[in-house]
Amino acid sequence: MKLLRFGAPGLEKPGLLDDDGRIRDLSGIVSDIAGDVLTPEGLTKLRALDVSGLPLAPPSARLGPCVGRVGKFVCIGLNYSDHAAESGMEVPSEPVVFNKWTSAICGPNDDIEMPRGAAKLDWEVELGVVIGKPGRYIDAAAALDHVAGYCVINDVSERAFQLECGGSWDKGKGCDTFGPLGPWLVTPDEAPSPDAMRLWLDVDGRRYQDGSTATMVFDVATLIAYLSRFMSLQSGDVISTGTPPGVGLGQKPPLYLQVGQTVTLGIDGLGAQRQRVVAA
């Protein structure tokens, strides 16, 4: 299934994409694409629906973030060896973990806001993993059983805030609009293998990132098992798994986003996003 949320910001309704590429309104069935709806039992109930009789959303409906009521937005840094190299950092021996605040979450085609005082706004296409079955101390061999689905994430970053303002990376990662999710959440039965997904990103039509999850340092199962040692993973938690090379910081000389530019990005089998950069 391809699950999604549509409508005005803060008023999104749950939906799914039917076989003809149309949005079907699920609000008469579930309250949101969130919480228990994402558990194996919840997804089984949705999978059994005859969606042909469900209302259609307007063709012009805005797509919201594909998951609602996200409890944790956990990110992994330097998870591609070639991205670590372009960043001038060593390949980590254990996953590098940081957070994006949930207030950063926005729709896949919403504007990216350039924060006040920002000078080094950057892009990062990433595979997002959404937890369905809760767990703690999860064994890597069973980790993928805890996945509700996969989505595209742009881990928007302000490098000066991240690297030059002291403290952790979080202050450069969690500004409003720095976490576009979607366009949809693709359940594992319809998604490509998480170990072989192609990721790409363009700025104003120029390709900067073109990679594959096959080159991740730590694969999805390993990341889920690792994170579950330090926190319980709950239904609707989002894990952003790192970016391949080609970010603005890694260009020679570094190249950063400017107001008025357009970023397009996607993952084969999971859909695409498009964002315009505007002043906050």
Residue pair 222/146 in contact (Cβ under 8 Å)? The answer is: no
Number of folded domains in the chain?
A: 1
Q: Would the pTM of this model clear 0.85, i.e. be above it?
A: yes
Rounded Cα–Cα distance for residues 15 and 46 (Å): 10
Query: And the tokens for 75?
Result: 């990110």
Domain membership of residue 7 (yes or no) is: no
Q: What is the DSSP letter of 4?
A: E
Domain of 221: which CATH number?
3.90.850.10
pLDDT of the residue at 212: 96
pLDDT of the residue at 149: 98
Rounded Cα–Cα distance for residues 135 and 132 (Å): 9
pLDDT in tens, 18-62: 999 999 999 999 999 999 999 999 999 999 999 999 999 999 999
pLDDT of the residue at 83: 80
How many other CB atoms are found less than 10 A from the CB of residue 228?
20
pLDDT of the residue at 111: 98
Domain membership of residue 122 as a residue range: 64-279
Domain membership of residue 210 (yes or no) is: yes
pLDDT of the residue at 128: 98
Domain membership of residue 175 (yes or no) is: yes
Rounded Cα–Cα distance for residues 65 and 34 (Å): 11
> Rounded to 5 degrees, what angle do the CA atoms 220, 222, 227 make?
95
> Rounded to 5 degrees, what angle do the CA atoms 253, 111, 130 make?
90
Domain membership of residue 81 (yes or no) is: yes
Which residues of the chain register pLDDT less than 50? none
